[in-house]
Amino acid sequence: MNVKFLPLLILLFAYLSANGQGIRVETLEILGANNTKISFLNNLVEAREGMLLDTLLMERDVQRLKRLPAISHAFYRVNLLNENSCEIQYIIEENFTLIPFANLFSSSNDDFAFRIGLQEFNFLGRNITLGAFYQYDNYSSYGVSVRAPYLLSNKFGLALNYNNFTTLEPVFFQDNTADYKYSNTGVELLGLYELNFENRLELGFSFFTEDYTYISGATNDAVPLALNVDKHLFKFIYDYNRLNYFYHYLDGFRSQLNLQYVGSTDENLPEFLIGFNDFTYFKRIGDRGNWANRLRLGLASNVDSPFAPFTVDNNLNIRGVGNTIDRGTGMIVLNTEYRQTLIDKNKFVLQGNVFIDGGTWRNPAGGFDDLLKSENLRIYPGVGLRFMHKRIFNAIFRIDYGYGITKDGDNGIVFGIGQYF
């Protein structure tokens, strides 16, 4: 809500208290929407013509609008028409939503990978995301996706993804390492449902094929040199979101739970359960500071396999550590950083950050005490910069440098689009 309208609202509340009656909404108007369908926004907000004035509901509507990729900022205005009726105006500032993206990283052991792509976040003016990417990580990969959270109603939508990944993956067994060419090709369908403003569910399944081909390194009679396995996956996601948005600043708490069952047709890649939860907490510090935190807890079936599901990786959890340097069946990862806005112009923002990424992993078939062992602990402090555009959705180009201070620590630079978390 724009603070300059606060005195008017105070007078409105005083009037209601004195007269013992409500003010009815005569008209509802949404201003500033050039690329987003007004009919879509009207269906999304809770405020309706004919209802009694409800500022808590309107605050919730504003936050809902600001969560849309197409909208960078929103506020409301109340205009009193007479002693019994008023006009509500939602004023929005739109983002540019056709966005190229890129993620790149390098480390001191000469790892290099990148992903480039293009996404439209407001297709047909209805908050539908279309995307495609190309990735090079020793081999070429690609994928396409569509996500329409309000396709069927203002609560129910669908998402469809197709991916063809191929990478060079290290496989760890008995203190040895081998490199395998790894391919994953499959399609995923998800149903998306919004319970209410703070709670969302996703439920779906996918069918995919995993292919492992030995390239180099150590061998073991118990580890095949080639595998081609058809798999299926069932996924459940619960998202509890109490974040408040003000342009690039965040404040509040969010919890995202991801549970999966993976079935397999080969005992070398057995079926397993996997679950992880991201707890994120953000705090505004003054006018230009933001403290950001992410705690990820993960656990999977403790199968004695070199192909364990949780990885230690630059672009997932520990900045500067390298490309898939270890695997495990359990993990605890904490990322904490302080973001300070150095330049804030009408459209451009320069932000600096200092961070500490730390994590520990449970070895395949290991015990929970693995999480306490120093050889499984990795701590990487670092610094970074963010170059942002206020009117282009997710137009945040980030550069981070992480330096390992634990045993055998590496160091490296991580580039990407969007905040790290």
Model pLDDT for residues 57-68, shown as the tens digit of each residue: 999 999 999 999
Q: How far apart are CA 303 and CA 329, in angstroms?
A: 8
Which pLDDT score is estimated for 108?
44
In 3D space, the residue among 65, 84, 68, 69 whose CA is nearest the CA of residue 26 turns out to be 84
- Residue 364: count other Cβ atoms within 10 Å of its Cβ: 23
| 195 secondary structure, DSSP code | -
Please report, for the chain, the start and end positions of each structural domain, with discontinuous segments joined by +: 3-94, 98-417
Which pLDDT score is estimated for 19?
43
pLDDT, tens digit (0-9, with 9 covering 90-100), for 267-317: 878 899 999 999 999 999 999 999 999 999 999 999 888 788 899 988 889
Residue 65's SS3 state is helix
Query: Which string of DSSP letters, residue by residue, matches 99-131?
Result: EEEEEEEEETT--EEEEEEEEEEEETTTTEEEE
Query: Which string of DSSP letters, residue by residue, matches 286-342?
Result: TTTEEEEEEEEEEEE-----TT-SEEE-TTTT-TTS-SS-EEESEEEEEEEEEEEEE
Which pLDDT score is estimated for 20?
36
Fold of the 98-417 domain: Porin (2.40.160)
Residue 285 pairs in a beta bridge with: 289
Low-confidence ranges of the chain (pLDDT < 70): 1-21, 105-111
Query: Rounded to 5 degrees, what angle do the CA atoms 387, 121, 340 make?
Result: 25
Which pLDDT score is estimated for 239?
98
Residues whose CB falls within 8 Å of the CB of residue 201, separated by 6 or more in sequence, listed in order: 192, 193, 194, 195, 236, 237, 238, 239
Which pLDDT score is estimated for 171?
82
Q: How far apart are CA 33 and CA 411, in angstroms?
A: 45
| 52 secondary structure, DSSP code | B
Which pLDDT score is estimated for 163?
97
In 3D space, the residue among 124, 132, 184 whose CA is nearest the CA of residue 151 turns out to be 124
Q: How far apart are CA 322 and CA 112, in angstroms?
A: 9
Predicted model pTM: 0.84
Q: How far apart are CA 45 and CA 150, in angstroms?
A: 12
Tell me how long the chain is.
Answer: 421
| 374 secondary structure, DSSP code | G
CATH architecture of the domain with residue range 3-94: Roll (3.10)
Q: Which residue has the tokens 């191929």?
A: 166
Helix H or strand E encompassing 354: strand 348-362
